[in-house]
Structure 1
Amino acid sequence: MKKILIILSLFLVPNLAEAHNPGQSYLYFSTYEDRIDGDVQAKAQEWNAVLGTNLPKNFTKEDLEAILPQIHEYIRDNLTVRSELGEHPITFVNYDVLNEEGSLGTFSRILFRLDNVTTIPENLEVTYDLFFESDDDHRALLLQAYNWKAGIIDNESVHSAIFSPGSTTQELDLSKATTWNGFISMVKMGIWHIWIGIDHIFFLLALALPAVVTRLPNRKSITEILSQWTGVEKFKPAFWYLVKVVTFFTIAHSITLSLAALGVINLNARIVESIIALSIALAALHNIVPIFKQREWLIAFGFGLFHGFGFAGVLADKGLSGEYMALTLFGFNFGVEVGQLLIILLFFPVLFFMRKTKVYSYSVVIASAALILLSLIWTYERFFDVNIPLRAITGL
């Protein structure tokens, strides 16, 4: 019955998504190798109602600091965390403000750490009795923001339990946390990132376009360039050559991702993103005017080094640093490779089927030219931190 109620609650209570909701406060827990951190988030109206303060709706960090001792005392009196290890007193470590879009105003973030965590317990028994005395309709959501072993990274949307005036004690299950779950979550993150990374996909597309055709020698004029391609005869050699090219890309970005994640090398993000955009142009230009004949793997490897620094920014944004880093890097890189291979498996048969048509040979050049134009626009935008509206280019 309890499981049924939890499932129903996921549908009946609004999901956080990327924003907060009115009439709610939030309790986050982040579980690391040797500690558990927490975070209480609430609006000004909640604090004013229970503390008798006059915190403005859109308050600043300085405004919050003025009433911080009262907030700390109130949380200590109304938030209790226990486990099989005993009670876990709260030590406050920091505070911040979170500006939400729309009419909700600013949320406070009161950050704390649980004491008496000698090992990570299997369950937390959490009693949350904040704000209910002033608002019977108030609800608080309990969330795991981070738990590597449970496969939870940077979670802001999926809640584990709901606190209400009649249900102020809930359990947070940490027993399902395993190294395998964490590794699988990293693989999924790598796959998902390559699928949503349009610049990485375009780079792969630029490399894949000529994989099913061979270039005729000594083509210099525009007419000759447009007719320089002839379709390959066999599927398998062309497919495995493209897999080799993609694998060199993975090897390269694995090297720099590891160096950046471990703090050995750090490059300016603006420069890195600009070079990633420029890599598409060079790969596409190679399709029109050969730079490395039958050595596309050199392009993949060379620019893959910079793509790795870009991937490192993704892990940093997710708060992944230090903990289980070897498995994190291996899982993420493996996921990127799997994501790339799935893309190839999806598109390569189509390319092979079309390879001997005149449309395809012309399409290689036309598509490459389009990729060059697009990547140069991206390079300019990223390097100079500007936005070029598409209608300004297309006239639409």
Structure 2
Amino acid sequence: MLRGPVFTLIVIMAAGAAWGHGVTGGDQAYMIASQGIHPFPFMYLGAKHMVTGYDHLLYLAGVIFFLRHIGDVAKFVSLFAVGHSITLLYGVLSGTQVNVYLVDAIIGLSICYKALENLTVIRWLDARIAVFGFGLIHGFGLSSKLQDLALPSDGLVGNMIFFNIGVEIGQVIALVALFSLSTSMRGLRFYDGIAQYINIGLFGAGLVLFGYQLTGFFITWR
């Protein structure tokens, strides 16, 4: 009876995951044209990216899914935020760029890994190491996208710092909603079954993202 809704959930999540790290055209134009430091606009853009970045949200949803205490959520999310911030700022400010298709494919695998971990299928890494490591990878994904925009050097350091602050603000907003939803679901009669289906959906979304990005890599590879 749940197969129809679950399949629909997987399709919706997977479709979102396929474009999760993009920056919209209007936002791109603003960032490219910005000379000097613009704290609040770049904070807004960072927050907007996070709350519409389905790859981030899918992974973080998996991270906090079975956490029951806000302190545990803060600990793991902080590890992810530190890793994400390091590679985002380092990548943009140093000009270090990686293939975006490969990075996004690994991000897809990070979602798959967390879903399988939640389903107790695998546990290869210490949870803290895994969250921090995948945070590093997620940061490189966004930094590579931002470098493609050829942002002006005037105010770049300040704008990227404020953009990253916005990302973390958006992350907090999204996680409050996700944690509230997951907490409210625990009182449901069939919670264990629902949790299993949701994590299967997470795995399916990550797998679609992985295949989508890997295909892009081979199509554009020279």
- Category of TM-score, reference length = shorter chain: 0.7 to 0.9
Cα deviation, 1:269-303, whole Å, max 9, x if unaligned, reads: 1111111111110111110115268x533222111
The offset of 1:144, in angstroms, is 11
- Name 1:131's counterpart in structure 2: none
Distance of aligned partners of 1:354 and 1:377 in 2 relative to their CA distance in 1, 3 Å threshold: closer
Contact 2:98 2:144 in 1 (8 A): no
Residue 66 of structure 2 aligns with an amino acid whose one-letter code is P
Pick aligned residue for 1:255 from 79, 83, 86: 86
Segments of 5+ residues of structure 2 without an aligned counterpart are 1-23, 218-222
Tell me if structure 2 keeps the 8 A contact 1:243–1:341.
no
Confirm or deny: 8 A CA contact 1:287 1:364 kept in the other structure. no
Aligned AA (2:64): A
Q: Distance in 1 between matches of 2:45 and 2:179?
A: 24
Q: For residue 91 of structure 2, give the secondary structure of its aligned residue in structure 1.
A: helix
- Give 1:264 shift: 5.5
- Asked if residue 320 in structure 1 is aligned to residue 151 in structure 2, the reply is yes
2: CA distance, partners of 1:204 / 1:250: 11
User: What is the distance in 2 between the residues matched to 1:310 and 1:319?
Assistant: 16
Matched AA of 2:44: K
2:182 pairs, out of 340, 346, 351, with 351
Task: Say if 1:343 and 1:144 are closer, same or farther in 2 by CA, change over 3 A.
Answer: closer
Q: Which residue of 1 aligns with 2:117?
A: 286
Check if 1:378 corresponds to 2:209: yes
Alignment partner for residue 209 of structure 1, among 41, 65, 87?
A: 65
Higher helix share: 2
Give the structure with the larger strand fraction: 1
Distance 1:374 1:351 in 2: 18
Rg larger in structure: 1
Contact 2:62 2:199 (C-alpha < 8 Å) held by counterparts: yes
Distance 1:200 1:240 in 2: 20
Residue 372 of structure 1: CA displacement?
0.8
Which secondary structure state, in structure 2, belongs to the residue aligned with residue 385 of structure 1? helix
Give the number of aligned pairs.
191
Q: Distance in 1 between matches of 2:184 and 2:213?
A: 37
Contact 1:187 1:334 in 2 (8 A): yes
Alignment deviations for residues 358-381 of structure 1 (CA, whole Å, 9 cap, x no partner): 422222221111111221121111
Q: Is the 8 A contact 1:250 1:333 kept in 2?
A: no
Contact 1:249 1:300 in 2 (8 A): yes
Q: TM-score, normalised by structure 2?
A: 0.75
> In the alignment, is the contact (CA less than 8 A) between 1:190 and 1:336 conserved in 2?
yes
What is the CA–CA distance in structure 1 between the aligned matches of 2:77 and 2:54, rounded to whole Å?
A: 16
Aligned equivalent of 1:193: 49
Match of 2:12 in 1: none
> Which of 234, 244, 266 is the aligned partner of 2:75?
244
Once the two structures are TM-superposed, the CA of residue 327 in structure 1 deviates from its matched residue by 1.4
- Measured on the aligned residues, the alpha-carbon RMSD in Å equals 2.8
* Closer/same/farther in 2, CA of residues 265 and 313 from structure 1, 3 Å limit: closer
Task: Output aligned runs, 1:53-132, within 5 Å.
Answer: none
CA contact (8 A) 2:100 2:145 kept: no
* 1:315/1:321 contact within 8 Å kept: no
**2: distance between equivalents of 1:211 and 1:144?**
37
**Greater length-normalized contact order (CA 8 Å, ≥ 6 residues apart):** 2
Where do 5+ consecutive residues of structure 1 fail to align? 1-16, 20-29, 31-142, 150-178, 213-237, 387-396
